[in-house]
Amino acid sequence: MTLTNIFKIFKDGDRKERIEFIDLGILPAGDTKQYTLYVLNDSELYCQKLVFKIVNQMGEEVNVLESPETIHPGGFEKIIVEWTAKADLVKSLRANFNISGEGITT
């Protein structure tokens, strides 16, 4: 089940910078960068068996290094992702989120 719409994604742990996508920036080919993001379960569902899939504009999957398997209603959790540029870029790349799992009414 797709749960992306019930989550809010933030760049910071203070919940001040909400984002709709990750700006991967511009990296030389072969360089790797890690990003720490935060996810808020903005619903009354207990979400479990979560899978975070993040894909950039070129169709390349961004590695999810650390993510929660469950987030309770109102829960706020950290996600760490890593991306390695496969080619030299002249323009910043964006990556979008897809979050799936089970949502259970509490």
By C-alpha distance, which of 2, 67, 66, 55 is closest to 24? 55
Query: What pLDDT shows up at residue 27?
Result: 87
pLDDT tens digits, 2-61: 899 999 999 999 999 999 999 998 888 899 999 999 999 999 999 999 999 999 988 889
pLDDT tens digits, 66-94: 999 999 999 999 999 999 988 877 778 89
Q: How far is CA 44 from CA 11, 23, 31, 51, 57, in A?
A: 23, 29, 40, 19, 32
Polymer length of the chain:
106
Domain 4-105 class, CATH top level: mainly beta
Query: What pLDDT shows up at residue 98?
Result: 95
Domain boundaries, the chain: 4-105
